[in-house]
Structure 1
Amino acid sequence: MGTSGSAERGAREPPAVTAVPTAFARELSAAVDASGISLHALQRRLQEHGVRISLTALSYWRSGQRQPEGPGSLDAVDELERILGLIPGHLTGRLGPSRRPGVVRERAAYGDLLELPLAVALTGHLDRLGLLGVADDLAEVTVIATVEVDRRGHVRSQSTRTLYRAVRGGVRSIPLVVTNGGSPLLAPPVLRSVHGGVARRRVVDRSAGVCVWELGLDAPLTAGATTVVESVLDVPVLDEPALGPQWEHHLLRPARELLLWVRFDPSRRPASCVAWERTPGEAERTRQLEVGAGGSTHLSMHGSGPGTLGIRWLF
């Protein structure tokens, strides 16, 4: 299960470094072609070996739009060499200097954070609601989310309180987005309450696992102004995403603070909880979380994004 409070403008391609046939990209592409393994299958093989990375990142690496740079991504390259039957160092030895710009990237697109079918479905629905430009005009400064999990491990409700800042003036509505990791929605979540705005329109796409609300703000925002919006959702039992029960949040811009608090039914504590963070073009970074005596765990991040952060659990 996941939420986000920002959207992207138009269905244009996400910003990325122009594709260049680097030595790394050429060797990776040649090795993939020679192996006969599709990128989907390669992603599954990596996952089986404990390396989680998006199809988007693999595609960017192969085309030369980006290259692996962080520690998690370099570990993924080591695993790619083993899966593709290459001599250790064959790919890592062809990595050039960093291609990251000198400043932190200020905005991503859903195409950077979600698998392509889900990103396409989501942006289409945002377009129909007239909310595609909000990500250019609004930033999430602080996000505090509380998630309630039942004894079977299913998310049953979530409340999210977000401090927004207007990058440009004239913001009147924001989207509230709920996704199910690409898995179908058996029934849509129910928006129990909203404070700081009013629910207007809703789009439900059960097959894509997407639900979007338009939340009208109490008053239009001027540039630099802030506002707080709180929403509470009741969540029906959902088809589990491929990666198992989890909750995640997508940040299209950097956020000053993100706090995810997951509270489990006291009659059944999870055996393990893992926090993760994915940034565009990088391998997933994970760490174990402790479950307190009261049956809850949390993830607190400062200065995160753009990217996706979340918690998954196992009973």
Structure 2
Amino acid sequence: MTDTSGLTPNEPNTRETDTESVLSSGLSPALAPDPASDLASALSAERPAPFAVALREAVRRRGLPLDRICERLTARGIRLTPATLSYWQRDRTRPERSDSLRAVVALESILDLPPGGLSALLPPQRPRGRRVARTDEHATRRLYGQSSWQEQALGDSFADFNRDIVVLLTREVLHLDRRGCVRRLIVNHLVRAVADGPEQMMNLHFLDDPDGALPEATVRCGQLESLRQDAASGGVMLQIGFGRPLTVGETMSVDYEIRTAPYENPTGFHERGIRGNQDAYLLHVYFPHDRLPAICHSYYRENSSAQQRKVRPLPVDTSGTAHLYAAQCRQGIYGMSWQWPDDG
């Protein structure tokens, strides 16, 4: 099974804005510091101070040298230099890349600040405008090639495919029946608007039985606008609405499930195409308990015509599942393959 719904522009990672920070006007009163303190003034929702001022005051009150703070960040898997922290405090630079924004969230804990205390003070992400739209189309063609089934299925709308959103995180849960055929696929995306106005996203899946009946789809987060199957390729397309236009920098969770009709051919792989700079991808496959795979691997391909690379064995755990986790995904196709004991 192949998924191409997690497509993101081939842009450098821009500032990740937490949904609560976008939609709320300030910190929860229960989490707010003592108004009498200097730090409380810096973090006040009523009189927000620049990010640099709040960070500088929080570091001063915590009493930790910058190198010690960086050591604590490193222990959490986040690499940051004391020079970068110094630049942030003096407002010479600001966190914008995804790893820098992860550091800001970690700093809130290290410096004993309430959740969102620093993140909420960062300025809104700058719109990318037409550059994102142009990159979308080119990045998709680089990944899937000219005249791909995705382009044929989308027709004239291919150039604008998910043009004003990026996918930050994707989690997929695949359930196989006793014959090893796909029966259920659960997908969750965290997406972010890179311009004002996006109201929906398109998700594409290529099923192992393209001649079968149209699968059923249930959307738990979002609204199912349409569900159709491309007659030529068999690809399934879901159009999921957000319920309202998003503003630039705003995040939205999309959660849905696909249930296929029974068919006879067991599957041997599942993969997802990513156009680049996605923070994380997690694939969790549930195998039938009485028919576990003999071999299971993860792999990566640069594009749809490339051979598998970075092939690594994956263990099947005691619950009969295996998972693939990829962080800081670049452009390419991420997948898991397996071989059944009776495949010869």
Query: What TM bracket, shorter-length normalisation?
Result: 0.5 to 0.7
Pairwise CA RMSD of aligned residues?
2.8
Structure having the larger proportion of residues in strand: 1
Given that residues 3 and 204 in structure 2 are in contact (C-alpha distance below 8 angstroms), is that contact kept between their aligned partners in structure 1? yes
Query: Deviations 1:254-283 (Å, cap 9, x if unpaired)?
Result: 210110000111121111111111124864
Aligned with residue 216 of structure 2, among 180, 183, 190: 190
Tell me the SS of whatever aligns to 2:142: helix
Given that residues 185 and 257 in structure 2 are in contact (C-alpha distance below 8 angstroms), is that contact kept between their aligned partners in structure 1? yes
Return the alpha-carbon distance in structure 2 between the equivalents of residues 253 and 309 of structure 1. 11
**Deviation larger for 203-212 or 304-313:** 203-212
How much has 1:175 moved relative to structure 2?
Answer: 0.5
How much has 1:247 moved relative to structure 2?
Answer: 1.2
How much has 1:296 moved relative to structure 2?
Answer: 0.3
Query: Deviations 1:195-235 (Å, cap 9, x if unpaired)?
Result: 22111123312441201121111221111110000010102
Aligned with residue 147 of structure 1, among 170, 174, 196: 174
Given that residues 8 and 167 in structure 2 are in contact (C-alpha distance below 8 angstroms), is that contact kept between their aligned partners in structure 1? no
Return the alpha-carbon distance in structure 2 between the equivalents of residues 156 and 214 of structure 1. 21
Tell me the matched-pair count: 213
Choose 1 or 2 for highest CA Rg.
2
Instruction: Read off the aligned partner of 2:141 and give its amino acid letter.
Output: G
Return the alpha-carbon distance in structure 2 between the equivalents of residues 131 and 168 of structure 1. 18
Aligned with residue 109 of structure 1, among 134, 139, 143: 139
The equivalent of 2:203 in structure 1 is 176
Q: 1:277 to 1:239 in 2, by over 3 A?
A: farther
How much has 1:239 moved relative to structure 2?
Answer: 7.7
Instruction: Read off the aligned partner of 1:176 and give its amino acid letter.
Output: N
Return the alpha-carbon distance in structure 1 between the equivalents of residues 145 and 297 of structure 2. 21
Q: 1:268 to 1:257 in 2, by over 3 A?
A: same
The equivalent of 1:164 in structure 2 is 191
The equivalent of 1:76 in structure 2 is none
Structure 2, unmatched stretches of 5+, are 11-134
Given that residues 7 and 167 in structure 2 are in contact (C-alpha distance below 8 angstroms), is that contact kept between their aligned partners in structure 1? no
Given that residues 5 and 140 in structure 1 are in contact (C-alpha distance below 8 angstroms), is that contact kept between their aligned partners in structure 2? no
How much has 1:188 moved relative to structure 2?
Answer: 2.3
Tell me the SS of whatever aligns to 2:299: strand
Q: 1:229 to 1:238 in 2, by over 3 A?
A: same
Return the alpha-carbon distance in structure 1 between the equivalents of residues 158 and 142 of structure 2. 18
Query: Deviations 1:54-96 (Å, cap 9, x if unpaired)?
Result: xxxxxxxxxxxxxxxxxxxxxxxxxxxxxxxxxxxxxxxxxxx
Given that residues 161 and 229 in structure 1 are in contact (C-alpha distance below 8 angstroms), is that contact kept between their aligned partners in structure 2? yes
How much has 1:7 moved relative to structure 2?
Answer: 6.2
How much has 1:170 moved relative to structure 2?
Answer: 1.0
Query: Deviations 1:140-177 (Å, cap 9, x if unpaired)?
Result: 10111100011211111010111001122211110021
Return the alpha-carbon distance in structure 2 between the equivalents of residues 189 and 245 of structure 1. 20
Report sequence identity in percent: 24
The equivalent of 1:260 in structure 2 is 283
Structure 1, unmatched stretches of 5+, are 15-105
Return the alpha-carbon distance in structure 1 between the equivalents of residues 155 and 252 of structure 2. 23
The equivalent of 1:279 in structure 2 is 302
How much has 1:131 moved relative to structure 2?
Answer: 6.4
Given that residues 186 and 206 in structure 1 are in contact (C-alpha distance below 8 angstroms), is that contact kept between their aligned partners in structure 2? no
Asked if 1:2 is matched to 2:2, the reply is yes
The equivalent of 2:164 in structure 1 is 137
The equivalent of 2:313 in structure 1 is 288
